[in-house]
Structure 1
Amino acid sequence: MGVNQLWQILEPIRQRVGLETLRGRRLAIDLSCWICEAQNAKGMAHTVTSPYLRNLFFRIHALKRLGVKLVFVVESSTVCELKWETVRRRVEERRPPAFNGRRAVAEIRKPPPVRRQLKHKMEKCVQMLDLLGIPYVRATGEAEATCATLNLANLVDGCVTEDSDTFLYGAPVVYRGLSTNEKDPRVDIYTLRDVEKRLGMSRSSLIALAFLLGCDYCPKGVPGVGREKALKWLMELGSTSPLERFRAWNKGDDHCISSTESFIRRKALALEAFPDSRIMDEFLSSVEAHRTFVVPPCQRPNVERSLDFIEAHLGWPHSYTQQKVFELLTYFAMTTTQRVAASDLAPERILKSRIAKGVAVFEVEWRGREAVKIGDENATKDAYLVTIENAALVERVYPNIVDDFRRVSSKKRNATRSKKCDERPRVVQTATARVVPETIVVVSDSDEEEGESLIVLSDSEDDGSRARESHVDPLPDIGNLSIRDSRQIEKKRDETSGSPLPLRERLRRQKCLDDSHLGKFYNL
């Protein structure tokens, strides 16, 4: 699809980024590419019901919840005359080997060829887009031409497609290889600016490659001319337009700038009517380029009808589908200027805040007619749906709900801290200590204020004499800490009691020990 081997040529400028970079951007999506990609995916054929609809729904859900604005482009059912040969070949390749139906063979051989399957799938996708409120435009020609026109008119920020000839129609930015897989959400970005600056090729150079290597309008290209020779010739031309050289060849100009051009000229002129002016006009002045497009706004998703449609075509249960479609409805309510009645949908409260994939989110409980779970007839607390929403978006739209949640959370934290402080034990446990001989026995002073504590050390020759508390006091609970480790004792005391004085200083002020014995005490 597109220009043969062009993606390999553009590989040096490919930028693989995460889907998060698409947040806030508006993208034009070639719907036919998504349909063909889903139908050709390995493991989905004959195992998944309507894989193209399943792929469409999950990608819409992931991108919309990410904050990406989508505009789908529906390809015309009428095949461009230049593409008849390519379409016939594709239809014949999909026919089973034992196919002998005369009517079907006649259909693919007469102009224009019929693509009944693609047309049917396209209309099913359009029905889903209508139910989910996703905007789309219908192309009168090729979908990639319409995507490029929307991009050139700044109606979208880029084109999502697998057709490399989107560049030939003038698209400045192309996204390819989009994946919404939770383990590796990514997309590849190509820009026409990088093609010009880093590869030294202009838009006319890409059109020349379409003639030489082949594309949808001339599948075979120029026999005998490969990718390396074509690129070598384009580098030799420099700023000279290769399309102008094609026209000069037709006018009888036999002057060639190199042996490479001489070889390509001889091979190209051996073909009938090279270059085909219709193909050149298709890329340079497509009918889509002269249209004035108006991108319709997003509409409110129809949850009820979506449930019936998805159950009929995908076989999903209503409860699962409702949660997915409801998440699109809540996003629509928070990002559109269209008013959603509070009786239908309104946030009740925030249940929890957390970080999901590096983004702050809220778990929001909703109320209203649309929020009632399928199967729960009574509007009770457990009957309402809960969604995970972007925290910044919720705070911007519903600041009062966020303020209430933070106020309640703050009260809960303060209550928990107070409870822990009240439950903390205030009696110091007995700890063992080694006392050197001839240690002065510390006696409690009767003038000490109530609640003060004195550590009494017994004078003993035996290592392992015990330190005893004279009475219960507000000293910290040192647990199993050894009294030898004075630094940890002091740190524990400061954290629990908040006393500004360390233990060493308190003992000195109480005149229990002089400096020499304090040194012995702390170096036990």
Structure 2
Amino acid sequence: MGVGGNFWDLLKPYARNEGFDFLRNKRVAVDLSFWIVQHENAIKAHVRKPHLRLTFFRTINLFSKFGAFPVFIVDGTPSPMKSQARIARYFQSSGIELTSLPVPKEGVSAQRNQLFSSRVQECVELVELLGMPVLRAKGEAEALCAQLNSEGHVDACITSDSDAFLCGAKCIIKCFCPNSKEPFECYNMSDIEAGLGLKRKHLIAISLLVGNDHAMNGVRGIGLDNALHFVKAFSEDDVLNRLREIGKGNISLIPVCIKFDNNMDMDGTSLNRKQPHCSFCGHPGSKKEHMKFPCGYCVIKVGEGCQRKPKSFKCDCLSCGKNRRHREQQRLENWHAKICHKIAEEPNFPKDEIIDMYLCNDNGYFSASDGPHITWGKPNIDMLIDFLKFHQHWEPSYIRRTMFPMMSTIFLRDMTTATVETLVFGQYEFDSVERVKMRYGFQYYVVKWKHAGGNIAYKIPSKESSVQQDAIGLDETADPLDDCDAPEIHVDDGCSFLLTDENVDLVGAAFPEKVQKFWQEQEVKRRKNSTSRPEENEKSATPNSRSIQLNITEFYPSAKLKHRQSKQGEGSSKNRKMSSPDRIPKSVRRRLLFD
């Protein structure tokens, strides 16, 4: 989808693998059709309605695990050109001749099939029940995502359609892997401009040459590499106008970066006339002259002649350098003229409708002055349970369990702004911070949520049982369902708790007293452990103790002291004198200490 000719492979070297906390507190536009198509390509033979399941889990992951604020964008009415291209793509994949391709009537667009439209509508209903905003585009969803990104309404776009760059997107997340250490494959337009020297209109020109979603074939005989080098010869403001001129047959215009001004050398002679060179050493001059007087280019000793040139010899004199540059210039001009002839042979090139579509900044149903109305609400739990129970056949306990991380995130965010209800799901209250947990290199608080009634109000099934109720024979190691992190159950002194992983900053802003108390308790435990260690070491430092290993500097004086004390109990002073460490040779002392 998007620009043809393996366009993403061209951009791949400039991708960034962003970390776990990249989207924290950021707005992100999601191309919902991209998710649905991606869901259809994975596990559809194993899971009931995968488009609903993955949309449900990924939305919760984006909102709770990654801390983002997703805005879902839905396709509108496709253009007649894209409808025609979609039909042509289907005919090609089916092996049908394009001569029998139907032509849509003027002003009539071929909509997507009814099955896909029904899946889109189901996903829209699901995300609206989750409290997420949904915007409908006039045409393509990626165009509205790009407009929201370029105008600053969102910070990034989640889509695999490279047309988003042509429509003005600044940051695109192509791959989204929730269960990875670096879950986001991110492309920034600033990196592409710095690495390839291409701007928005350059990319539009490339898409016109190699093909896109609206004109599938592009210009015959021009691939991605040729298109890249061709458009880089023009500035961004000039490239589309030059394509229009070339399309009209004006191929005499040569870019400044290709045109060679100095066609004559200093003597006024043509660069094609090369100075005579010696056939022996390869330098300017004749062989006969060099036999008498060696040339100054060869490194020789006094009295010796020129040296024979090697096989791969290239003369670096001024004349040869100018001739090489002239030949390279001629090659570039011939290549440029060849590309221009191919463009001029293409009928109706370029299509202004496609250019206007990419440059359009009115892709949504909102005014430029007011902007889009984007708000996030709370999930409608009761209707959501009924919806998922009908479509997915899930138990209410399983739905509440998977929804708990999202509800706890909403609760903590509300607590940072104002005093709200003190219970999550009407049953759980914030109890304390249990411990600090490291996940993918980031710190998280493990928070204890206490059940208000003292007991669990509903059964929390295990992860294995929840997967089995809608997946049979599924390979869990691949984790294609993008399951969210479900809370753990914990029972302490007859009270029931749920444990969830929460963002450190969010918990600190919502419950600063609880966090301060937690760190005070940790400091007390640390001091208690540090004071108890010396006493434990003294108790464990027995002759037969193996719990502590002394280094050589600690072991040597302790063993020497032991040896001295054992000798003090012996009878005579003569023996004490003989057993003095100063009188015993060092080699004997080593044997006594380590026996």
Bucket of the pairwise TM-score, normalised by the shorter protein = 0.7 to 0.9
Letter of the 2:53 partner, please give it. Answer: R
Aligned length: 454
Structure 1 equivalent of residue 82 of structure 2: 83
Q: Structure 2 vs 1, CA of residues 492 and 62 (structure 1 numbering), >3 Å: closer, same or farther?
A: farther
User: Is residue 2:381 matched to residue 1:303?
Assistant: yes
For each residue in 1:288-333, what CA deviation from the matched residue of structure 2 results, as whole angstroms up to 9, or x when unmatched? Answer: 2874533523222333433333333333433333222111011111
TM (norm. structure 1) is: 0.73
Cα root mean square deviation, aligned: 4.2
Farther off after superposition, 107-116 or 201-210: 107-116
Contact 1:13–1:194, Cα closer than 8 Å, also in 2 = yes
Q: Structure 2 vs 1, CA of residues 304 and 188 (structure 1 numbering), >3 Å: closer, same or farther?
A: same
> Whole-Å Cα distance in 1 between the matches of residues 80 and 582 of structure 2?
101
Structure 2 equivalent of residue 215 of structure 1: 212
5 Å-filtered alignment, 1:83-482, equals: 83-89=82-88, 111-115=108-112, 116-182=114-180, 184-237=181-234, 241-250=238-247, 253-257=250-254, 258-288=333-363, 291=368, 292-336=370-414, 337=417, 340-343=420-423, 344=426, 345-367=428-450, 373-375=456-458, 381-409=494-522, 477-480=542-545
> Whole-Å Cα distance in 1 between the matches of residues 408 and 89 of structure 2?
42
Contact 2:205–2:240, Cα closer than 8 Å, also in 1 = yes
For each residue in 1:112-144, what CA deviation from the matched residue of structure 2 results, as whole angstroms up to 9, or x when unmatched? Answer: 213222321122112221222223322222111
Structure 1 equivalent of residue 288 of structure 2: none
> Whole-Å Cα distance in 1 between the matches of residues 174 and 556 of structure 2?
63
Letter of the 2:87 partner, please give it. Answer: R
> Whole-Å Cα distance in 1 between the matches of residues 339 and 133 of structure 2?
46
SS at structure 2 position matched to 1:341 = coil
Letter of the 2:123 partner, please give it. Answer: C
Contact 1:211–1:221, Cα closer than 8 Å, also in 2 = yes
SS at structure 2 position matched to 1:388 = strand
SS at structure 1 position matched to 2:21 = helix
Contact 2:130–2:378, Cα closer than 8 Å, also in 1 = yes
> Whole-Å Cα distance in 2 between the matches of residues 489 and 267 of structure 1?
86
For each residue in 1:4-61, what CA deviation from the matched residue of structure 2 results, as whole angstroms up to 9, or x when unmatched? Answer: 02212223322233343333332211111111111123xx122111112222222222
The higher-RCO structure (CA 8 Å, 6+ apart) is: 2
Structure 2: state its 5+ residue gaps.
97-101, 255-332, 461-491
Letter of the 1:28 partner, please give it. Answer: A
Percent identity over paired residues: 27
Farther off after superposition, 128-137 or 407-416: 407-416
Letter of the 2:435 partner, please give it. Answer: K
Structure 1 equivalent of residue 69 of structure 2: 70
> Whole-Å Cα distance in 2 between the matches of residues 370 and 82 of structure 1?
62
> Whole-Å Cα distance in 2 between the matches of residues 121 and 313 of structure 1?
11
Contact 1:205–1:241, Cα closer than 8 Å, also in 2 = no
For each residue in 1:172-203, what CA deviation from the matched residue of structure 2 results, as whole angstroms up to 9, or x when unmatched? Answer: 22121221134x54222222222222212221
Structure 1: state its 5+ residue gaps.
98-104, 429-475, 494-501
For each residue in 1:248-280, what CA deviation from the matched residue of structure 2 results, as whole angstroms up to 9, or x when unmatched? Answer: 235553414233343333333333322111111
Letter of the 2:500 partner, please give it. Answer: T
In the TM superposition, residue 239 of structure 1 has moved relative to its aligned partner by 6.3
Structure 1 equivalent of residue 11 of structure 2: 10
Contact 1:18–1:186, Cα closer than 8 Å, also in 2 = yes
TM (norm. structure 2) is: 0.65
Q: Structure 2 vs 1, CA of residues 65 and 73 (structure 1 numbering), >3 Å: closer, same or farther?
A: closer
In the TM superposition, residue 369 of structure 1 has moved relative to its aligned partner by 7.0
> Whole-Å Cα distance in 1 between the matches of residues 9 and 27 of structure 2?
27
Structure 2 equivalent of residue 35 of structure 1: 36
SS at structure 2 position matched to 1:385 = strand
Letter of the 1:37 partner, please give it. Answer: Q
Structure 2 equivalent of residue 464 of structure 1: none
For each residue in 1:410-447, what CA deviation from the matched residue of structure 2 results, as whole angstroms up to 9, or x when unmatched? Answer: 56667778888888886x9xxxxxxxxxxxxxxxxxxx
Contact 1:318–1:374, Cα closer than 8 Å, also in 2 = no
> Whole-Å Cα distance in 2 between the matches of residues 113 and 416 of structure 1?
73
SS at structure 1 position matched to 2:46 = coil
> Whole-Å Cα distance in 2 between the matches of residues 485 and 228 of structure 1?
65
